[in-house]
Each structure stands twice: as structure tokens, then as C-alpha cells.
A = this chain, B = another copy of it.
Amino acid sequence: MSDLENVSLKLEALGYRVTPSRRAVIAAVLQQSDHFSVDDVLHRCRGAGRATVFRTIRLLTDLGVVCRLLLADGSLHYRVSQRGHHHHLVCTACGTVRDLDQCAISDLMRELSDAYGYEIEGHWLELYGRCSACRSAVAAEAR
């Protein structure tokens, strides 16, 4: 579910047209190595208009091709996503993201559900830290 053809097929299967503008946006998204902002795509996408870029990225989000990523500074980024629901561990120094295997708080949610009678419908979880590479780089520098 990660290259241009696959995404195009998926769109078509759902009745969306695969137009040149959409292809351009999708291609730009797929060639991002790590997470990216809408603006990043906008710059790599001469030819597709602002609105179309926003619309297409929303479409890709709804389709599960990319996932949202809330950075520590509050800005919203995106990231090509293979799996379904998951969360992220973001390095605040180098920006690298590690996907967590599965939702790690389903137990917690069940507990809360039981304790307070809430029916939990959704949640937002992001974790920020420094990866081991960045930590050892700092340690080396301090020496």
C-alpha cells in the first residue's frame, strides 16, 4: 500500500479519479523519507494548487495511506503509514520517528471504561524523547 500504483488503484476502487494533480501530490508524499508538513509537499508540487494539496492529503489520511503526527511544538505533520492504528515516538533532536507496534493503551482504556462508564471513542497519544543516537552524540560532545 505504499507506491504510486497501489495508491492509485485504491483511489480508483473507491470511485475517486486519479488526476494529474493527485498523482503529483501522491508522488511527492511517497518520496518523503520521514514525516513532512503540508507545506513541504506544496513546495515539491509545482502544478498542484494549495487547496488540492490540502484536499489530497486529507484524502490520503482518510484512506490510511498517511497518518497524522503531532510534533512537540504543536505543529501537525504527516507520515506514510503501512499499518493501521498506532502511535509514535518522536526524537526531539533529530526528528526521527519510531512507530510503536500497536496501541499501547488499550488496557488503560478498558480500565477507564469500566471505572467511569465512558465509552471511549478515540484518543491521541504522542511520545517525545531523545533517541539513543542523539543521546550518545551529546555525551561524546560533552567529553
- Residue A130, interface by CB 8 Å: yes
Whether the pair A125, B123 counts as a contact (CB closer than 8 A) is yes
Interface string of A116-143 (1 = CB under 8 A from B): 1111111111111111100100000000
Whether the pair A123, B128 counts as a contact (CB closer than 8 A) is yes
The oligomer's copy count stands at 2
Nearest-CB residue, chain B, relative to A128? B122
Q: Which residues of B contact A132 (CB under 8 A)?
A: 116-118
Bound-complex Cα distance A45 to B64 (A) = 43
Instruction: Apart from A98-B116, A118-B127, A122-B127, list 9 A-B contacts with CB within 8 A.
Output: A70-B124, A89-B112, A109-B127, A117-B132, A118-B130, A118-B132, A120-B129, A121-B128, A121-B129
Closest 5 pairs (CB-CB, A-B):
A117-B132, A120-B129, A118-B129, A122-B128, A123-B127
